[in-house]
Chains A and B, each alone.
Chain A
Protein backbone atom coordinates (compact mmCIF):
# COMPACT_ATOMS: atom_id res chain seq x y z
CA UNK A 1 0.00 0.00 0.00
CA UNK A 2 2.77 2.42 0.93
CA UNK A 3 4.82 1.87 -2.20
CA UNK A 4 1.61 1.97 -4.17
CA UNK A 5 0.90 5.44 -2.78
CA UNK A 6 4.37 6.56 -3.72
CA UNK A 7 3.91 5.28 -7.26
CA UNK A 8 0.55 7.02 -7.53
CA UNK A 9 2.11 10.28 -6.39
CA UNK A 10 4.98 9.97 -8.87
CA UNK A 11 2.57 9.22 -11.68
CA UNK A 12 0.49 12.23 -10.67
CA UNK A 13 3.61 14.43 -10.65
CA UNK A 14 4.34 13.39 -14.24
CA UNK A 15 0.82 14.20 -15.32
CA UNK A 16 0.62 17.51 -13.47
CA UNK A 17 4.08 18.64 -14.62
CA UNK A 18 3.40 17.79 -18.23
CA UNK A 19 -0.01 19.43 -18.16
CA UNK A 20 0.76 22.76 -16.49
CA UNK A 21 4.56 22.94 -16.61
CA UNK A 22 6.87 22.53 -13.61
CA UNK A 23 6.72 26.19 -12.57
CA UNK A 24 2.92 26.28 -12.40
CA UNK A 25 2.50 22.78 -10.97
CA UNK A 26 1.01 22.79 -7.46
CA UNK A 27 1.03 20.13 -4.79
CA UNK A 28 -2.79 20.44 -4.67
CA UNK A 29 -2.93 19.30 -8.31
CA UNK A 30 -0.67 16.34 -7.55
CA UNK A 31 -2.66 15.10 -4.56
CA UNK A 32 -5.95 15.55 -6.42
CA UNK A 33 -4.72 13.43 -9.35
CA UNK A 34 -3.12 10.84 -7.07
CA UNK A 35 -6.13 10.67 -4.76
CA UNK A 36 -3.97 10.91 -1.64
CA UNK A 37 -4.06 13.35 1.26
CA UNK A 38 -1.68 16.27 1.62
CA UNK A 39 -0.28 14.54 4.68
CA UNK A 40 0.48 11.39 2.65
CA UNK A 41 2.26 13.50 0.04
CA UNK A 42 4.51 14.98 2.72
CA UNK A 43 5.11 11.55 4.26
CA UNK A 44 6.83 10.65 1.00
CA UNK A 45 8.33 13.91 -0.22
CA UNK A 46 9.61 17.05 1.48
CA UNK A 47 8.38 19.36 -1.28
CA UNK A 48 7.49 19.79 -4.92
CA UNK A 49 11.09 19.71 -6.10
CA UNK A 50 11.85 16.41 -4.33
CA UNK A 51 8.76 14.81 -5.81
CA UNK A 52 9.63 16.05 -9.28
CA UNK A 53 13.21 14.80 -9.00
CA UNK A 54 12.01 11.34 -7.97
CA UNK A 55 9.54 11.20 -10.87
CA UNK A 56 12.14 12.49 -13.32
CA UNK A 57 14.67 9.90 -12.13
CA UNK A 58 12.11 7.16 -12.67
CA UNK A 59 11.27 8.09 -16.28
CA UNK A 60 14.90 8.82 -17.16
CA UNK A 61 15.84 5.30 -16.05
CA UNK A 62 13.02 3.90 -18.13
CA UNK A 63 14.18 5.88 -21.17
CA UNK A 64 17.88 5.10 -20.76
CA UNK A 65 17.35 1.40 -20.17
CA UNK A 66 14.98 1.14 -23.17
CA UNK A 67 17.52 2.83 -25.43
CA UNK A 68 20.49 0.92 -23.99
CA UNK A 69 18.93 -2.51 -24.49
CA UNK A 70 17.81 -1.67 -28.05
CA UNK A 71 21.32 -0.39 -28.75
CA UNK A 72 22.89 -3.59 -27.42
CA UNK A 73 20.81 -5.72 -29.80
CA UNK A 74 22.62 -4.41 -32.90
CA UNK A 75 25.77 -6.04 -34.29
CA UNK A 76 27.68 -3.30 -36.06
CA UNK A 77 27.95 0.21 -34.63
CA UNK A 78 25.65 1.74 -37.29
CA UNK A 79 22.98 -0.87 -36.61
CA UNK A 80 23.27 -0.26 -32.87
CA UNK A 81 22.78 3.46 -33.39
CA UNK A 82 19.81 2.76 -35.68
CA UNK A 83 18.14 0.51 -33.12
CA UNK A 84 18.87 2.75 -30.14
CA UNK A 85 17.64 5.87 -31.89
CA UNK A 86 14.50 4.15 -33.20
CA UNK A 87 13.70 2.92 -29.68
CA UNK A 88 14.26 6.41 -28.29
CA UNK A 89 11.93 8.09 -30.79
CA UNK A 90 9.26 5.38 -30.50
CA UNK A 91 9.27 5.49 -26.72
CA UNK A 92 8.87 9.27 -26.62
CA UNK A 93 6.09 9.20 -29.23
CA UNK A 94 4.16 6.52 -27.36
CA UNK A 95 4.59 8.24 -23.98
CA UNK A 96 3.94 11.97 -24.55
CA UNK A 97 3.78 12.64 -20.78
CA UNK A 98 7.21 11.09 -20.28
CA UNK A 99 8.50 13.08 -23.28
CA UNK A 100 7.23 16.38 -21.90
CA UNK A 101 8.79 15.76 -18.46
CA UNK A 102 12.15 14.37 -19.64
CA UNK A 103 12.74 16.68 -22.55
CA UNK A 104 11.03 19.96 -21.62
CA UNK A 105 10.20 20.26 -17.92
CA UNK A 106 13.57 18.98 -16.68
CA UNK A 107 15.09 22.20 -18.04
CA UNK A 108 12.68 24.31 -16.01
CA UNK A 109 12.90 22.56 -12.65
CA UNK A 110 15.98 24.10 -11.05
CA UNK A 111 19.68 23.28 -10.65
CA UNK A 112 19.33 19.72 -9.34
CA UNK A 113 17.15 18.61 -12.23
CA UNK A 114 19.61 20.31 -14.60
CA UNK A 115 22.53 18.45 -13.04
CA UNK A 116 20.62 15.19 -13.50
CA UNK A 117 19.89 16.11 -17.11
CA UNK A 118 23.57 16.88 -17.75
CA UNK A 119 24.47 13.42 -16.45
CA UNK A 120 21.83 11.83 -18.71
CA UNK A 121 23.17 13.68 -21.76
CA UNK A 122 26.66 12.40 -20.90
CA UNK A 123 25.31 8.87 -20.62
CA UNK A 124 23.82 9.18 -24.12
CA UNK A 125 27.14 10.58 -25.36
CA UNK A 126 29.15 7.65 -24.06
CA UNK A 127 26.59 5.21 -25.44
CA UNK A 128 26.99 6.78 -28.89
CA UNK A 129 30.81 6.89 -28.77
CA UNK A 130 31.91 4.78 -31.78
CA UNK A 131 34.25 1.88 -30.98
CA UNK A 132 37.61 2.20 -32.74
CA UNK A 133 37.60 -1.50 -33.70
CA UNK A 134 34.30 -1.45 -35.63
CA UNK A 135 35.03 -2.07 -39.32
CA UNK A 136 32.44 0.51 -40.38
CA UNK A 137 33.87 3.29 -38.23
CA UNK A 138 36.34 4.81 -40.64
CA UNK A 139 36.40 8.56 -40.22
CA UNK A 140 37.79 10.94 -37.66
CA UNK A 141 35.68 13.63 -35.99
CA UNK A 142 36.79 16.07 -33.26
CA UNK A 143 35.73 15.28 -29.65
CA UNK A 144 32.93 17.83 -29.55
CA UNK A 145 31.16 16.06 -32.45
CA UNK A 146 29.48 13.46 -30.20
CA UNK A 147 28.23 16.13 -27.85
CA UNK A 148 26.87 18.08 -30.82
CA UNK A 149 25.13 15.02 -32.28
CA UNK A 150 23.37 14.12 -29.03
CA UNK A 151 22.47 17.78 -28.57
CA UNK A 152 21.21 18.07 -32.14
CA UNK A 153 18.93 15.08 -31.74
CA UNK A 154 17.73 16.51 -28.43
CA UNK A 155 16.93 19.84 -30.08
CA UNK A 156 14.90 18.28 -32.88
CA UNK A 157 12.93 16.32 -30.28
CA UNK A 158 12.55 19.37 -28.01
CA UNK A 159 11.07 21.51 -30.75
CA UNK A 160 8.58 18.77 -31.74
CA UNK A 161 7.50 18.16 -28.13
CA UNK A 162 7.08 21.89 -27.41
CA UNK A 163 4.94 22.34 -30.52
CA UNK A 164 2.63 19.38 -29.76
CA UNK A 165 4.10 17.24 -32.55
CA UNK A 166 5.56 14.48 -30.39
CA UNK A 167 3.77 11.84 -32.49
CA UNK A 168 5.88 12.78 -35.54
CA UNK A 169 9.14 11.72 -33.90
CA UNK A 170 9.42 8.16 -35.32
CA UNK A 171 9.19 9.54 -38.87
CA UNK A 172 12.34 11.59 -38.25
CA UNK A 173 14.52 8.50 -37.81
CA UNK A 174 16.17 8.45 -41.28
CA UNK A 175 17.40 12.04 -41.13
CA UNK A 176 18.53 11.92 -37.48
CA UNK A 177 20.30 8.63 -38.09
CA UNK A 178 22.11 10.15 -41.05
CA UNK A 179 23.29 13.07 -38.89
CA UNK A 180 24.48 10.74 -36.12
CA UNK A 181 26.40 8.37 -38.39
CA UNK A 182 27.89 10.67 -41.00
CA UNK A 183 30.91 11.99 -39.02
CA UNK A 184 32.11 8.46 -38.20
CA UNK A 185 31.19 6.14 -41.05
CA UNK A 186 31.53 8.43 -44.06
CA UNK A 187 28.98 9.63 -46.59
CA UNK A 188 28.37 6.31 -48.34
CA UNK A 189 27.43 4.18 -45.32
CA UNK A 190 25.38 7.05 -43.85
CA UNK A 191 23.48 7.36 -47.14
CA UNK A 192 22.82 3.60 -47.25
CA UNK A 193 21.39 3.67 -43.72
CA UNK A 194 19.31 6.71 -44.64
CA UNK A 195 17.83 4.97 -47.68
CA UNK A 196 17.21 1.75 -45.79
CA UNK A 197 15.34 3.41 -42.91
CA UNK A 198 13.37 5.63 -45.29
CA UNK A 199 12.30 2.54 -47.19
CA UNK A 200 11.29 0.55 -44.13
CA UNK A 201 9.32 3.54 -42.80
CA UNK A 202 7.48 3.71 -46.13
CA UNK A 203 6.75 -0.03 -45.97
CA UNK A 204 5.40 0.28 -42.44
CA UNK A 205 3.12 3.07 -43.60
CA UNK A 206 1.49 0.78 -46.18
CA UNK A 207 -1.79 -0.76 -45.05
CA UNK A 208 -1.24 -4.37 -44.01
CA UNK A 209 -3.05 -6.81 -46.29
Chain B
Protein backbone atom coordinates (compact mmCIF):
# COMPACT_ATOMS: atom_id res chain seq x y z
CA UNK B 1 0.00 0.00 0.00
CA UNK B 2 2.90 2.37 0.72
CA UNK B 3 5.66 1.07 -1.52
CA UNK B 4 7.59 4.31 -1.59
CA UNK B 5 7.36 4.80 2.15
CA UNK B 6 9.12 1.57 3.03
CA UNK B 7 12.51 2.15 4.58
CA UNK B 8 13.86 -1.05 3.06
CA UNK B 9 12.32 -3.89 1.15
CA UNK B 10 11.93 -7.14 3.08
CA UNK B 11 11.87 -8.97 -0.24
CA UNK B 12 15.48 -9.95 -0.31
CA UNK B 13 16.33 -13.52 -1.07
CA UNK B 14 18.30 -14.87 1.86
CA UNK B 15 20.88 -17.60 2.05
CA UNK B 16 20.14 -20.37 4.52
CA UNK B 17 20.79 -19.05 8.01
CA UNK B 18 22.17 -20.99 10.98
CA UNK B 19 18.71 -21.68 12.45
CA UNK B 20 17.34 -23.00 9.17
CA UNK B 21 17.33 -26.70 8.52
CA UNK B 22 19.20 -28.06 5.52
CA UNK B 23 17.01 -28.88 2.55
CA UNK B 24 16.48 -32.49 1.50
CA UNK B 25 17.15 -35.62 3.57
CA UNK B 26 18.59 -34.91 6.97
CA UNK B 27 17.24 -37.70 9.13
CA UNK B 28 15.46 -35.35 11.57
CA UNK B 29 12.11 -36.50 12.99
CA UNK B 30 9.10 -35.07 11.16
CA UNK B 31 7.55 -33.51 14.30
CA UNK B 32 10.77 -31.59 14.89
CA UNK B 33 10.86 -30.35 11.33
CA UNK B 34 7.25 -29.20 11.47
CA UNK B 35 7.68 -27.34 14.76
CA UNK B 36 10.90 -25.79 13.51
CA UNK B 37 9.18 -24.61 10.33
CA UNK B 38 6.36 -23.09 12.32
CA UNK B 39 8.79 -21.24 14.58
CA UNK B 40 10.72 -19.95 11.58
CA UNK B 41 7.53 -18.64 10.02
CA UNK B 42 6.54 -16.88 13.25
CA UNK B 43 9.99 -15.31 13.61
CA UNK B 44 9.74 -14.10 10.01
CA UNK B 45 6.41 -12.40 10.79
CA UNK B 46 8.07 -10.25 13.45
CA UNK B 47 10.93 -9.37 11.07
CA UNK B 48 8.75 -8.50 8.11
CA UNK B 49 6.09 -6.78 10.15
CA UNK B 50 8.57 -4.50 11.85
CA UNK B 51 10.42 -3.58 8.65
CA UNK B 52 7.49 -3.30 6.22
CA UNK B 53 4.50 -2.73 8.51
CA UNK B 54 1.44 -4.97 8.77
CA UNK B 55 -0.45 -3.32 5.93
CA UNK B 56 2.36 -3.78 3.41
CA UNK B 57 3.39 -7.24 4.65
CA UNK B 58 2.58 -10.11 2.28
CA UNK B 59 2.63 -13.88 2.62
CA UNK B 60 5.30 -13.82 -0.07
CA UNK B 61 7.56 -11.71 2.19
CA UNK B 62 7.10 -14.16 5.05
CA UNK B 63 7.80 -17.16 2.83
CA UNK B 64 11.01 -15.59 1.50
CA UNK B 65 12.23 -14.44 4.92
CA UNK B 66 11.51 -17.73 6.68
CA UNK B 67 12.90 -19.86 3.86
CA UNK B 68 9.95 -22.28 3.90
CA UNK B 69 7.93 -23.13 0.82
CA UNK B 70 4.63 -21.47 0.05
CA UNK B 71 3.01 -24.86 0.46
CA UNK B 72 4.48 -25.30 3.95
CA UNK B 73 3.22 -21.87 4.88
CA UNK B 74 -0.34 -22.75 3.88
CA UNK B 75 -0.08 -26.12 5.63
CA UNK B 76 0.39 -24.18 8.84
CA UNK B 77 -1.60 -20.97 8.39
CA UNK B 78 -4.64 -19.76 6.47
CA UNK B 79 -3.09 -16.44 5.45
CA UNK B 80 -1.63 -13.16 6.56
CA UNK B 81 -4.03 -12.34 9.40
CA UNK B 82 -3.95 -15.88 10.74
CA UNK B 83 -0.15 -16.00 10.87
CA UNK B 84 0.02 -12.52 12.39
CA UNK B 85 -2.38 -13.51 15.16
CA UNK B 86 -0.38 -16.66 15.91
CA UNK B 87 2.83 -14.61 16.13
CA UNK B 88 1.11 -11.97 18.27
CA UNK B 89 -0.19 -14.62 20.68
CA UNK B 90 3.23 -16.21 20.98
CA UNK B 91 5.05 -12.96 21.71
CA UNK B 92 2.42 -11.52 24.03
CA UNK B 93 2.47 -14.78 25.98
CA UNK B 94 6.25 -14.48 26.35
CA UNK B 95 5.91 -10.87 27.45
CA UNK B 96 3.13 -11.56 29.95
CA UNK B 97 5.04 -14.54 31.36
CA UNK B 98 8.08 -12.35 32.02
CA UNK B 99 6.04 -9.56 33.54
CA UNK B 100 4.02 -11.97 35.73
CA UNK B 101 7.20 -13.67 36.91
CA UNK B 102 8.65 -10.33 38.01
CA UNK B 103 5.36 -9.46 39.70
CA UNK B 104 5.14 -12.76 41.56
CA UNK B 105 8.75 -12.70 42.68
CA UNK B 106 8.34 -9.29 44.32
CA UNK B 107 6.64 -8.47 47.61
CA UNK B 108 4.12 -5.70 48.16
CA UNK B 109 2.56 -3.08 45.90
CA UNK B 110 5.61 -0.86 45.31
CA UNK B 111 8.05 -3.67 44.52
CA UNK B 112 5.52 -5.55 42.40
CA UNK B 113 4.70 -2.54 40.25
CA UNK B 114 8.36 -1.57 40.00
CA UNK B 115 9.67 -4.99 39.01
CA UNK B 116 6.90 -5.78 36.55
CA UNK B 117 7.18 -2.36 34.89
CA UNK B 118 10.93 -2.84 34.68
CA UNK B 119 10.45 -6.28 33.10
CA UNK B 120 8.09 -4.77 30.53
CA UNK B 121 10.37 -1.88 29.57
CA UNK B 122 13.40 -4.18 29.38
CA UNK B 123 11.56 -6.63 27.12
CA UNK B 124 10.58 -3.82 24.74
CA UNK B 125 14.13 -2.43 24.73
CA UNK B 126 15.71 -5.83 24.06
CA UNK B 127 13.27 -7.03 21.42
CA UNK B 128 12.69 -4.18 18.97
CA UNK B 129 11.04 -6.34 16.28
CA UNK B 130 8.65 -7.92 18.78
CA UNK B 131 7.84 -4.49 20.18
CA UNK B 132 7.07 -3.14 16.73
CA UNK B 133 4.83 -6.08 15.96
CA UNK B 134 2.94 -6.19 19.27
CA UNK B 135 2.76 -2.51 20.18
CA UNK B 136 2.70 -0.51 16.95
CA UNK B 137 1.56 -2.82 14.14
CA UNK B 138 -1.14 -4.54 16.18
CA UNK B 139 -3.19 -1.35 15.90
CA UNK B 140 -3.23 -1.80 12.10
CA UNK B 141 -3.89 -5.54 12.05
CA UNK B 142 -7.68 -5.59 12.17
CA UNK B 143 -10.41 -6.01 14.79
CA UNK B 144 -9.40 -9.46 16.06
CA UNK B 145 -5.82 -8.33 16.71
CA UNK B 146 -7.09 -5.17 18.41
CA UNK B 147 -9.39 -7.19 20.63
CA UNK B 148 -6.49 -9.42 21.72
CA UNK B 149 -4.40 -6.33 22.40
CA UNK B 150 -7.21 -4.89 24.50
CA UNK B 151 -7.24 -8.10 26.55
CA UNK B 152 -3.47 -7.93 27.11
CA UNK B 153 -3.95 -4.38 28.37
CA UNK B 154 -6.68 -5.55 30.74
CA UNK B 155 -4.36 -8.20 32.12
CA UNK B 156 -1.83 -5.47 33.01
CA UNK B 157 -4.52 -3.27 34.62
CA UNK B 158 -5.73 -6.18 36.72
CA UNK B 159 -2.19 -6.78 38.01
CA UNK B 160 -2.01 -3.23 39.35
CA UNK B 161 -5.51 -3.45 40.79
CA UNK B 162 -4.75 -6.75 42.51
CA UNK B 163 -1.51 -5.51 44.03
CA UNK B 164 -3.26 -2.35 45.26
CA UNK B 165 -6.29 -4.20 46.68
CA UNK B 166 -4.04 -6.55 48.65
CA UNK B 167 -2.33 -3.67 50.38
CA UNK B 168 -4.74 -0.75 50.67
CA UNK B 169 -8.15 -0.47 52.35
CA UNK B 170 -11.05 0.10 49.93
CA UNK B 171 -11.42 3.70 51.07
CA UNK B 172 -7.86 4.48 49.93
CA UNK B 173 -8.31 3.13 46.41
CA UNK B 174 -8.52 5.67 43.55
CA UNK B 175 -11.47 5.77 41.07
CA UNK B 176 -12.24 2.58 39.16
CA UNK B 177 -10.66 3.54 35.82
CA UNK B 178 -7.33 4.55 37.36
CA UNK B 179 -5.35 1.38 36.61
CA UNK B 180 -6.65 1.25 33.04
CA UNK B 181 -5.66 4.88 32.50
CA UNK B 182 -2.18 4.31 33.95
CA UNK B 183 -1.54 1.24 31.80
CA UNK B 184 -2.75 3.22 28.78
CA UNK B 185 -0.36 6.03 29.66
CA UNK B 186 2.59 3.66 29.77
CA UNK B 187 1.46 2.15 26.49
CA UNK B 188 1.42 5.55 24.80
CA UNK B 189 4.89 6.45 26.08
CA UNK B 190 6.19 3.08 24.88
CA UNK B 191 4.29 3.29 21.57
CA UNK B 192 5.73 6.67 20.63
CA UNK B 193 9.31 5.59 21.47
CA UNK B 194 9.00 2.32 19.51
CA UNK B 195 7.47 4.19 16.56
CA UNK B 196 10.52 6.46 16.45
CA UNK B 197 12.95 3.54 16.81
CA UNK B 198 13.89 4.69 20.32
CA UNK B 199 12.61 1.68 22.27
CA UNK B 200 16.11 1.22 23.73
CA UNK B 201 15.67 4.38 25.82
CA UNK B 202 12.66 3.06 27.69
CA UNK B 203 14.41 1.50 30.71
CA UNK B 204 15.75 4.99 31.52
CA UNK B 205 12.17 6.17 31.97
CA UNK B 206 11.49 3.66 34.74
CA UNK B 207 11.78 6.16 37.65
CA UNK B 208 9.42 8.71 36.07
CA UNK B 209 6.88 6.15 34.89
CA UNK B 210 6.96 4.42 38.25
CA UNK B 211 6.11 7.73 39.89
CA UNK B 212 3.09 8.17 37.62
CA UNK B 213 1.79 4.66 38.28
CA UNK B 214 2.26 4.67 42.05
CA UNK B 215 1.12 8.22 42.80
CA UNK B 216 -2.64 7.48 42.88
CA UNK B 217 -2.03 4.60 45.32
CA UNK B 218 0.74 5.75 47.66
CA UNK B 219 0.32 9.55 47.58
CA UNK B 220 2.57 12.44 46.64
CA UNK B 221 5.12 12.14 49.43
CA UNK B 222 5.89 8.44 49.08
CA UNK B 223 5.83 8.61 45.26
CA UNK B 224 8.30 11.52 45.28
CA UNK B 225 10.74 9.75 47.59
CA UNK B 226 10.47 6.60 45.46
CA UNK B 227 11.23 8.72 42.39
CA UNK B 228 14.38 10.06 44.02
CA UNK B 229 15.51 6.61 45.15
CA UNK B 230 14.86 5.15 41.77
CA UNK B 231 16.77 7.92 39.98
CA UNK B 232 19.71 7.43 42.32
CA UNK B 233 19.57 3.70 41.69
CA UNK B 234 19.77 4.13 37.91
CA UNK B 235 22.46 6.79 38.01
CA UNK B 236 25.62 4.69 38.66
CA UNK B 237 24.89 2.78 35.47
CA UNK B 238 24.75 5.98 33.42
CA UNK B 239 27.97 7.21 35.10
CA UNK B 240 29.81 4.04 34.21
CA UNK B 241 28.76 4.34 30.58
CA UNK B 242 29.87 7.96 30.44
CA UNK B 243 33.25 7.07 31.98
CA UNK B 244 33.87 4.10 29.70
Question: Which residues on A are within 8 Å of B, measured CB to CB?
Answer: 21, 23, 49, 104, 107-112, 114, 118, 121, 139-145, 147-156, 158-159, 162-163, 172, 174-176, 178-179, 182-183, 186-187, 194
Contact = CB atoms under 8 A, between A and B. Distances in A.
B39 interface: no
Contact of A23 (B142, B189, B209, B215): B142
A147 B180 CA distance: 15
A159 B175 contact: no
Given A114-B195, A152-B181, 8 more contacts: A112-B5, A142-B207, A145-B211, A158-B184, A163-B147, A172-B177, A174-B175, A187-B219
Nearest to B191: A151
B199 interface: no
Contacts of B142: 21, 23
A-B complex: 7 closest residue pairs judged by Cβ atoms: A151-B188, A155-B184, A148-B185, A152-B185, A152-B181, A142-B208, A107-B139
B61 to A, nearest CB: 16
Contact of B177 (A121, A148, A175): A175
Contacts of A151: 184-189, 191
Interface residues of B, number: 44
Given A107-B140, A142-B208, A186 B220 contact: yes
Interface of B: 1-2, 5, 53, 55, 139-143, 146-147, 150, 153, 174-178, 180-189, 191-192, 195, 205, 207-209, 211-212, 215-216, 219-220, 224, 227
A62 B181 CA distance: 25
Contacts of B183: 152, 155
A148 B177 CA distance: 14
Contacts of A159: 150, 153, 180, 184
Nearest to B176: A175
Contacts of A175: 175-178, 181
Given A21-B143, A162-B143, A111 B2 contact: yes
B140 A23 contact: yes
Contacts of B224: 140
B23 to A, nearest CB: 35
A109 B137 CA distance: 11
Nearest to B219: A187
Given A110-B5, A194-B175, A147 B181 contact: no
